[in-house]
Structure 1
Amino acid sequence: MEQTIRRMEQAMKESVEAHFVLPQLREMALACLEQKLSESMLFGKMTMLHYRMYKGEDDERIYRAAAAVELMILSLDMIDDVQDQDNPAVPWSAYRPEIALNLALGMLMIAQRLLLESGFEPERAQQAARLLSMQVLTAVHGQTLDLLNDIPDEDAYLAMVSQKSAALLVCGCMIGTVLATGEWKEQVRGYAEQLGIAAQIKNDIRDLANWTDKNDFLNRKLTLPTLFLLQAVTDEDRWVIDYYEGRLSMEEVRHRREELEAILEKTGTMLYSSVRMRTHYYRFLELLEQLELEEGWRDQMLALAE
């Protein structure tokens, strides 16, 4: 796997160097790429795994396709951070927003071009490129719902997540599948979506526990954990609702971390959220079992899903 990851990374670097011709822009793009290469690269790995799982030929084409998927994810991460302004640790947060957006748009266009020029049969390459466009558009709708932060209940939250982060995991898995088979496989979509939902709930639990500027409570984000919290608090902890409804400022609650942690414990917010996360993960496992894969493929999938 390490060798295949390096080949995917090399395809990403070569594409960025070739297509960002303005030196300043190329330098910033490569800095953004270095940040991306330090992360899990889950989406590209899933693309390569599904391609091989469905008997695709192991050659340079699939590394370019996986590179396209990861560049797409990088572009959307950059746009998301520009919109949310809650992730100062990444390189693009240090750039002027309009420059960061230009970089992100460039990454997205490179991803599309990489798929179309990957070397696969034209019909399958075009099918993969259409799939990427379709899933990005779905994610744009999901991101808009997230930015509007007008999520009334858990069903609305799950619908938003299915359109946002889960749709992108479906994209990575399905591009590998389509390039190998030429077919959209509904079972792949089903388990990828469940895994994506589980991963997002896990992130939301983390972003509620981590008391920084990215903390979902401080930012009044409506997620599965915070929706449960707002329903579960008692009158004696009414300040939690007052903060969410704007009657208290951030400065008035920022020092109340230990108090909030006690409320999270008392209401069972984290426990409930963990159970919901595991429910979707177990559904992923059930749908994965229905494929009746050889043990080796199943093990690789589970290793990536950890």
Structure 2
Amino acid sequence: MAYKNEIVEKMKEIILLENIEESFKTTLLSYINEKKDYSMSFGELCVLHYQAFLQQKADERIIFVAAAVELLILSFDIIDDLQDGDADYLWCQDPVIAMNAVLAMLFLTVKCIQESTFPYRAQAIQVLYNFALKSINGQYLDIRNYGKDEASYLKMTEAKSGALIALSSSIGVSLAIGKVDERVTEYSICIGVVQQILNDIQGLKSWEKKNDLLNRKLSLPIIYLLEQPEQYADILRNYYKGSKKEIDTTYFKEILLESGAINYALAIKNIYQYKALHMVEAMPFSHADKTYLKTFIE
């Protein structure tokens, strides 16, 4: 897949074509530029699944929808950063304006699909609603730290992260054939969980603003630590309850490495990874499409 640059340009085009205040356009474009060097994987997943199910090469229309999907994902990223308060992106400098920008992106996403010429655009919009709301519900559970054990954490992650992968892939599917494919939904959710667990592990390697432990947020390695019959678990429980204000970061760096917490999280990741790989391999896709999908899993 090599649609990243085209998707970024279409994102900008969506903004420039809209009848809104010029200074607001400038703000929205600056937000796109803030993330233009990141992969446009959500949009590319939309394109891939459209091509694979329709069995024809992507045209400008699907690139335009893929750009709209990326606008939606950007709006979710902005909300996530504002809620967590642990990022330094441009939108964090003025949260009030950022919230207005999020609203614009959300409605522009729907508008772009609705005004397209795809015969199954109504079905695609319904897919967007269903999976977006599922992800928003997952985000709520995450904010409330409802994932206090393995089962509830994975359920929350499947909703929050898995639903966004499923949204991107399934919009492409629905625009091609007018309905969702449950196989795509299932392996997309697995991919979302794999990516989230890897992000959680990576985040614990940095002891700066985004570290989940410092922010009293839960992830699989932390859940593992909290469930152990060790003194460090008592310290951690008191810290998460708020009765202990600070923790010894040097001590917990060692604990994370020596306790088996990271290996435990990787083992759970491997279960989802195996399932996703097995399902992707069974799909009637081209070798190139399967290879691209596996880059998200392996």
Fold conserved between structures, TM > 0.5: yes
Identity of aligned residues (%): 34
Give CA deviations for 1:118-151 in whole Å, capped at 9, x if unaligned. 2212xx1111111111111111111111111132
Distance 1:236 1:34, change over 3 A: closer
Q: Which residues of 2 match residues 156-167 of structure 1 at below 5 A?
A: 156-167=152-163
* Alpha-carbon distance between aligned partners in 1 of 2:7 and 2:244, rounded to the nearest angstrom: 48
The 2-side partners of 1:209 and 1:292 are apart by: 39
Q: Which residue of 2 aligns with 1:48?
A: 47
- Corresponding residue of 2:211: 215
Report if aligned partners of 1:232, 1:267 keep a CA contact under 8 Å in 2.
Answer: no
Match of 1:119 among 100, 117, 120: 117
Instruction: Name the structure 2 match of 1:129.
Output: 125
Ranges in structure 2 where 5+ consecutive residues have no aligned partner:
none
d(CA) in 2 for partners of 1:30 and 1:78? 14
2:295 is equivalent to residue 296 of structure 1: no
Q: Which amino acid aligns with 1:34?
A: N
Residue-by-residue CA offset, 1:254-306 (whole Å, 9 max, x unaligned) = xx222111111221111111121122111100111222433222112223545
SS in 2 for 1:15: helix
For the pair 1:9 / 2:5, whether they are aligned, the reply is no
Q: Which one-letter code corresponds to 1:22 in the other structure?
A: E
Compared with structure 1, are the counterparts of its residues 202 and 304 closer, same or farther at alpha carbon in structure 2 (3 Å cutoff)? closer
Residue of structure 2 in register with 1:68 after alignment: 68
Matched, 1:152 2:148: yes
- Secondary structure of residue in 1 paired with 2:295: helix
2: CA distance, partners of 1:237 / 1:149 = 17
Q: Where do residues 214-253 of structure 1 align in structure 2 (5 Å cutoff)?
A: 214-232=210-228, 234-235=230-231, 238-249=234-245, 252-253=246-247
Amino acid at match of 1:273: A
**Per-residue displacement from partner, 1:33-58 (whole Å, max 9, x unpaired)?**
01222211111010111111111452
8 Å CA contact 1:56, 1:179 repeated in 2:
no
Report the AA paired with residue 62 of structure 1.
I
For residues 269 and 211 of structure 2, the distance between their equivalents in structure 1, rounded to whole angstroms, comes to 19
3-state secondary structure, aligned to 1:38: coil
Alignment partners' CA distance in 2, 1:281 and 1:50? 19
1:18 match: 17
Q: TM-score, normalised by structure 1?
A: 0.92
Q: 5+ unaligned residues in a row in structure 1: which ranges?
A: none
1:258 match: 250
Which among 89, 101, 104 is matched to residue 103 of structure 1? 101
Decide whether aligned partners of structure 1 residues 233 and 74 sit closer, same or farther in structure 2, where only a CA change above 3 A counts. farther
Q: 1:197 to 1:146 in 2, by over 3 A?
A: same
Match of 2:273 in 1: 281
